Homo-oligomer: A and B are copies of this chain.
Amino acid sequence: MAKSPKISASHEPGGLIVHISGLLPSLSPAEQRVARLVVSDPADAARRTITDLATAAETSEATVIRFCRSVGMDGYPQLRIRLAAEAARRVEPPDARVVGGDIPPGADLAQIIATIAFNDARAVEETAEQLDPAVCEQVVEAIVGAGRIEVYGAGASGFVASDFQQKLHRIGRMAFYFPDVHTALTSAALLAKGDVAVGISHSGTTADVIEVLEQARARGASTVALTNFPRSPITDVADFVLTTAARETTYRSGAMASRLAQLTVVDCLFVGVAARNRARARRALEVTADAVRTRRVGPGRRRG
């Protein structure tokens, strides 16, 4: 077709769509029809086959190809994937109803899911942002050097405590968790300098946990508090304070968001500890994984 070598750089850095509409006037009538279709609904165009698009533009496939070349593409397939990418990039802003944190009475499940996920993800992200790596480092240090580690938590935080204990145990650390206050108190009384006690309480006001932590501290153990409120009572008995950042607006989603935030912190500590001796941790994990292998059935096969 002997078009003279254009030096206009097939760059089109801004949107492809913008690029196309820019040179729309320079296209032939039939090509313009194609261009208008493409610009008005890129995603739809990307779905169509070349014949389909040609028909929709009331022209032939040949013209569509010419159009592709005119806008700097190699051929139709390339245009297609570029359009798909372009269309996907325009992110729709998060639903306004979702951000508030509370769930409106008439909400359908899709809305509920979106709201919860949004809050949960935010809690995780924001917690990580405000976590002080230096403090974490010190806690990790303490745990790595500890003769014994005890983790306390009541109610919902008890799950987190138990989870932490189990994780540490799996990589060969001497960690304990006691669901019962009395047992916990007894055990804390046996802690000594060099040991570590971790108290988890979202509100920071759980009497049992504070009491146990206090006991541990009196015995010389290093104490760590994990709470959402940096000035709550539990921080008074802790050498190290780690905070989560759950907004906790409502009784509904807040509870879970704070849980996830706590778990994230726990995971960070765990990985930090494991990273101190990767080989040993990996070996321990493999051994424990093997231990439950017989309790698994073969990988499922697909159905239809």
Contact = CB atoms under 8 A, between A and B. Distances in A.
Interface stretch (A54-62, A187-195, A293-301): A293-301
B26 A260 contact: no
Contacts of A210: 297
A110 B133 contact: yes
Interface in A98-124: 103, 105, 107-110, 112-114, 116-118, 120-121, 124
Contacts of A272: 109, 112
Contacts of A70: 302
Nearest to A267: B256
Interface in A283-304: 285, 289, 292, 295-303
A278 to B, nearest CB: 7
Interface of A: 3, 25-27, 46-47, 49, 70, 77, 80-82, 84-89, 91, 103, 105, 107-110, 112-114, 116-118, 120-121, 124-125, 127-129, 131, 133, 136-137, 140, 154-156, 159, 162-163, 166, 203-208, 210, 229, 231-236, 251-253, 256, 259-260, 263-264, 266-268, 270-272, 274-275, 278, 282, 285, 289, 292, 295-303
